[in-house]
Chain A
Amino acid sequence: KAGVTQTPRYLIKTRGQQVTLSCSPISGHRSVSWYQQTPGQGLQFLFEYFSETQRNKGNFPGRFSGRQFSNSRSEMNVSTLELGDSALYLCASSGDRDYSGNTIYFGEGSWLTVV
């Protein structure tokens, strides 16, 4: 069974540009969450999507957005990039089994560098 797949793995962008990151969850998983990981802030929750609807959102500015497609694949977009957006962006998927717990599985991440 394939794991969570994220593309691209590495990218460099210039301040002011925008970026789109893609995530394919584990087959059968309907919940996709996004996290930002930086050395100073650890793992910060961005948002979660379930059945194409944003279910929860973390404390990030509106420049950070996402969406989920009918096949559960998800994308996140960051507009007007700032230097501080340089981070590892992690996608995680979950089977969302309410009565059995929510084990989430992470992808390898997308390394974004803003210059």
Chain B
Amino acid sequence: GENVEQHPSTLSVQEGDSAVIKCTYSDSASNYFPWYKQELGKGPQLIIDIRSNVGEKKDQRIAVTLNKTAKHFSLHITETQPEDSAVYFCAASMYSSASKIIFGSGTRLSIRP
């Protein structure tokens, strides 16, 4: 069945450095790739998304890249800050149904002061 693999499961970076989280998906029909940030005790919050007709999207310190041929996409956070510490989830889905969204297993990002 459809699957989204996410790596690494935990990541610790020095404040100010960059963090990269990678995901691969199995369903070649997937065409929408959101990223969510979940802080302790809260629900996941959408931070950025990308659709299959673009290869890269940036929003301030956050960027996402997509390689449809290789079926992988990545989240890049530059100039990391303490408030970036959270669990990050990637996901893949098709346009047609929100229920078909498949989530990765999550990456716990810790920013060291």
Q: A residues near B, CB below 8 A? A: 4, 6, 31, 33, 42-43, 45, 47-48, 55-56, 90, 92, 94, 96, 98-109
When distances are taken between beta carbons in the complex, the residues of chain A under 8 Å from B32 are 101-102
Taking A33-B99, A48-B98, A104-B98 as known contacts, 17 extra A-B pairs with beta carbons closer than 8 A to each other, sorted by chain A number, are: A42-B103, A48-B99, A55-B97, A56-B100, A90-B43, A90-B44, A98-B95, A101-B32, A102-B32, A103-B46, A103-B49, A104-B101, A105-B46, A106-B36, A106-B45, A107-B43, A108-B43
A42→B105 CA distance, assembly (Å): 6
Chain A neighbourhood of B95, CB < 8 A: 98-102
Which residues 11-52 of B have a CB within 8 angstroms of A? 32, 34, 36, 42-46, 49, 51
Cα distance, A48 to B96, chains bound together (Å): 13
Question: How many angstroms between the C-alpha atoms of A33 and B45 in the bound complex?
Answer: 15
Instruction: Give, as a whole number of angstroms, the nearest-CB distance from A65 to chain B.
Output: 16
Interface SS of A by simple majority: strand
Closest to B101 in A: A104
Q: How far is the CB of B65 from chain A (nearest CB, A)?
A: 18
Task: Give A110 Cβ to nearest chain B Cβ, in Å.
Answer: 10
- CB–CB A106/B97 < 8 A: no
- CB-CB nearest 6 A-B residue pairs: A48-B99, A56-B99, A106-B43, A94-B98, A102-B98, A43-B103
> Which residues in window 36-76 of B have CB below 8 A to A?
36, 42-46, 49, 51
**How far apart are A4's CB and chain B's nearest CB, in angstroms?**
8
List chain B residues, Cβ under 8 A from A108: 42-43
B46, B89, B99 interface centre (most CB from chain A within 10 Å)? B99
Q: Which residues of A contact B46 (CB under 8 A)?
A: 103-105
> B residues within 8 A CB of A42?
89, 103-106
**Closest residue to B105 on the A side, CB-wise?**
A42
Q: B93 at interface (Cβ–Cβ under 8 A)?
A: yes
A96 to B94, CA, bound (A): 12
A94 to B: closest C-beta gap in Å? 4
